[in-house]
């Protein structure tokens, strides 16, 4: 490999990547492809977040089964595959459009069948069956008859029509799912004609008929053997990218973009890595800024979990792996969509596994909390930007400036946002807002940290200081007393004790909020520890 092969940004097809010359950088994933394709028959399902390389994986399977040997020279699979046999391929890609109504779903499925007919010189009007599912099954049979060969079926982003319609209308999403179920049922009915079927998506919907029955799909989403089939491992970054990472702080790269765990080596988001290198190793939220499924903000508004619960949730295996359209589970959806990852797999005797979840990296941590902050406060991104001075104030230990930034932020929250959040326990609301505000700024922050005497409301860390914070609402000012209720509680409960041997300076902060004013009432600091 040359030191600087071109980065394959925006390339979605394996043939474009590899032909006529291997000028583009390619991380060889054909070992996994070989393990899946070498059997005489196989049905596989893989869930991964958007822009994780699923389309390139489908394209690689397509080139392999069509016998395009020249594209695989120098790759793991080249001398292991039987190139004397090729197969007709049906490739259905549902990622290309945004689905706004049921007709757009049906049109895209119909167009997929039409493109397959054109590719294999089968007149579309020869498909006499009525309905998309029956036409799909008829096409499979006609290809089998024409080539006297079994068929390969590749379906990319099978669930996108449901995701798109879910953002606007739950009933429309359910109808979209019914259309897909009817279409995909042709796979089960055509089992005798199929050599290989591979399906990708973000979510695995509970109750979809194609995942049960005679041709039960093998869900490899959490199969450790295929943990690295999409995304880049640390070893791949160090061995496949030439000198692209020269003079780059790899620990910072890990913090920003690594952390996705599918029960094997952790992987980097490939979209982030390619954009990061293309922009001269400039750290930014590339994947997040490329767009999120519209339903994410809708689900957030349901308030199933608080922001600081996301890194300490434990889910049973069955809840993690599937997604029920009639009972939306925010945490399961966030994991499947790439906003959470698996921190730990916990074996429960006689009951299988549970999974402790975590936010994968800095990009998601900051971006997710910005989204939470907008939902809690109604503040748009432009309003948040003016408060970045809070970050500098904490790092420079200018707590007067920090207090001013906090007051400015709460002053900007519209009154009706307090009303729509139905705030009964104002202390919990202020704690939530402060947490997501600081996390959205990129500060290292954790909350409800357990000690032997209770739980700390909030802890902020910088390289030189640890700030232990307690919140109070409508607390009386300390007339004649040395400290207010917040600082007194920190001392009484010794919330600072876990950090006494840390080496950094410990600062205690009491934030006292006023319900009537909806802002800080008073702010006190104790640096005597």
Cβ(125)–Cβ(139) under 8 Å? no
CA distance 395 to 463: 8
The reported pLDDT for the residue numbered 448 is 64
The reported pLDDT for the residue numbered 424 is 38
Average pLDDT over every residue of 447-475: 84
Say how many residues make up the chain: 529
Average pLDDT over every residue of 126-148: 96
Lowest mean pLDDT among 81-90, 142-151, 269-278, 401-410: 401-410
CA distance 374 to 300: 10
pLDDT-derived band of residue 415, with 50, 70 and 90 as boundaries? low
Q: With residue 185 as reference, give the H or E element that holds it.
A: helix 170-189
- Predicted TM-score (pTM) of this structure: 0.88
DSSP 260: B
Average pLDDT over every residue of 380-391: 64
CA distance 90 to 198: 11
pLDDT-derived band of residue 394, with 50, 70 and 90 as boundaries? very high
Which H, E and C letters describe 196-257, residue by residue?
EEEEEECCCECCCHHHCCCCCCEECCCCHHHCCCCCEEHHHHHHHCCCCCCCCCHHHHHHHH
pLDDT-derived band of residue 110, with 50, 70 and 90 as boundaries? very high
The reported pLDDT for the residue numbered 4 is 80
DSSP 297: H
Could you give the C-alpha distances from 482 to 477, 487, 529, in angstroms and in order? 10, 10, 15
Could you give the C-alpha distances from 379 to 74, 290, 292, 409, in angstroms and in order? 53, 21, 19, 9
Instruction: Evaluate if residue 196 carries a pLDDT over 70.
Output: yes
pLDDT-derived band of residue 334, with 50, 70 and 90 as boundaries? confident
Lowest mean pLDDT among 173-182, 350-359, 401-410, 480-489: 480-489
Lowest mean pLDDT among 107-121, 448-462, 489-503: 448-462
The reported pLDDT for the residue numbered 370 is 82
Instruction: Evaluate if residue 472 carries a pLDDT over 80.
Output: yes
Instruction: Evaluate if residue 126 carries a pLDDT over 90.
Output: yes
Instruction: Evaluate if residue 232 carries a pLDDT over 80.
Output: yes
* Burial tier of 215 (Cβ tally within 10 Å: 0-12, 13-18, 19+): middle
DSSP 283: -
Instruction: Evaluate if residue 55 carries a pLDDT over 90.
Output: yes
Average pLDDT over every residue of 307-314: 74
Q: Which one has a higher pLDDT value, 1 or 185?
A: 185
The reported pLDDT for the residue numbered 153 is 97
What residue ranges in 29-173 does DSSP mark as E strands?
42-47, 89-93, 151-156
The reported pLDDT for the residue numbered 380 is 64
* Burial tier of 40 (Cβ tally within 10 Å: 0-12, 13-18, 19+): exposed
Residue in the block written with tokens 């004649």: 480
User: What mean pLDDT is reported for the chain?
Assistant: 87
Task: Give the pLDDT confidence of 233-267 residue by residue, as tens digits.
Answer: 999 999 999 999 999 999 999 999 999 999 999 99
The reported pLDDT for the residue numbered 423 is 46
Could you give the C-alpha distances from 230 to 101, 164, 220, 261, in angstroms and in order? 31, 23, 12, 11
* Phi, psi angles (nearest 5°) of residue 325: -60, -30
Cβ(487)–Cβ(508) under 8 Å? yes
Task: Give the pLDDT confidence of 482-495 residue by residue, as tens digits.
Answer: 788 999 999 999 99
Task: Give the pLDDT confidence of 11-34 residue by residue, as tens digits.
Answer: 989 999 998 776 899 999 999 999
Average pLDDT over every residue of 451-462: 80
pLDDT-derived band of residue 213, with 50, 70 and 90 as boundaries? very low
């Amino acid at each position: 490999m040359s030191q600087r092969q071109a980065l394959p940004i925006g390339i979605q097809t394996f043939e474009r990547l590899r032909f006529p010359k291997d000028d583009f950088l390619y991380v060889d994933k054909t070992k996994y492809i070989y393990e899946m394709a070498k059997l005489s028959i196989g049905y596989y399902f893989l869930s991964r977040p958007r822009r994780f390389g699923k389309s390139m994986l489908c394209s690689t399977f397509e080139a392999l089964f069509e016998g395009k040997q020249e594209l695989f020279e120098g790759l793991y699979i080249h001398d292991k595959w039987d190139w004397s046999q090729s197969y007709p391929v049906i490739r259905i890609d549902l990622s290309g459009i945004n689905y706004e109504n049921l007709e757009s779903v049906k049109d895209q499925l119909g167009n997929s069948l039409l493109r397959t007919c054109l590719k294999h010189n089968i007149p579309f009007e020869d498909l006499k069956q009525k309905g998309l599912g029956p036409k799909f099954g008829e096409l499979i049979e006609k290809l089998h008859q024409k080539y006297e060969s079994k068929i390969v079926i590749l379906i990319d982003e099978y669930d996108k029509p449901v995701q798109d319609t879910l953002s606007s209308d739950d009933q429309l999403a359910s109808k979209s799912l019914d259309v897909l179920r009817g279409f995909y049922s042709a796979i089960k009915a055509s089992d005798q004609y199929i050599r290989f079927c591979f399906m990708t998506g973000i979510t695995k919907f509970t109750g979809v008929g194609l995942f049960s029955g005679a041709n039960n799909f093998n869900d490899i989403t959490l199969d450790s053997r295929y943990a690295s089939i999409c995304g880049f491992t640390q070893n791949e970054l160090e061995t496949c990218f030439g000198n692209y990472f020269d003079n780059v702080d790899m620990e910072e790269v890990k913090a920003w973009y690594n952390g996705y765990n599918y029960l094997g080596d952790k992987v980097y988001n490939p979209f982030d890595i390619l954009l990061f290198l293309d922009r001269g190793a400039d750290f930014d939220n590339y994947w997040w800024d490329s767009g999120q499924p519209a339903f994410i903000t809708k689900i957030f508004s349901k308030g199933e979990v608080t922001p600081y619960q996301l890194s300490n949730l434990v889910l049973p295996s069955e809840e993690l792996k599937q997604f029920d359209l009639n009972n939306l589970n925010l945490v399961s959806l966030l994991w499947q969509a790439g906003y959470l990852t698996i921190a730990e797999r916990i074996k429960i005797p006689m009951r299988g596994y549970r999974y402790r979840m975590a936010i994968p990296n800095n990009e998601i941590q900051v971006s997710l909390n910005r989204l939470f902050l907008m939902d809690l406060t109604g503040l748009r991104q432009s309003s948040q930007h003016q408060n970045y001075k809070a970050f500098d104030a904490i790092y420079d230990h200018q707590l007067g400036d920090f207090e001013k930034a906090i007051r400015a932020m709460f002053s900007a929250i519209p009154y009706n946002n307090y009303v729509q959040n139905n705030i009964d326990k104002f202390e919990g609301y202020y704690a939530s807002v402060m947490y997501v505000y600081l996390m959205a700024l990129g500060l290292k922050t954790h909350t409800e940290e357990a000690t032997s005497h209770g739980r700390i409301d909030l802890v902020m860390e910088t390289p030189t200081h640890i700030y232990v914070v307690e919140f109070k609402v409508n607390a009386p000012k300390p007339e004649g007393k040395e400290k207010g209720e917040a600082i007194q509680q920190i001392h009484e409960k010794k919330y600072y004790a876990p950090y006494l041997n840390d080496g950094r300076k410990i600062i205690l902060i009491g934030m006292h909020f006023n319900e009537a004013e909806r802002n800080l009432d008073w702010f006190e600091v104790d640096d005597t520890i």
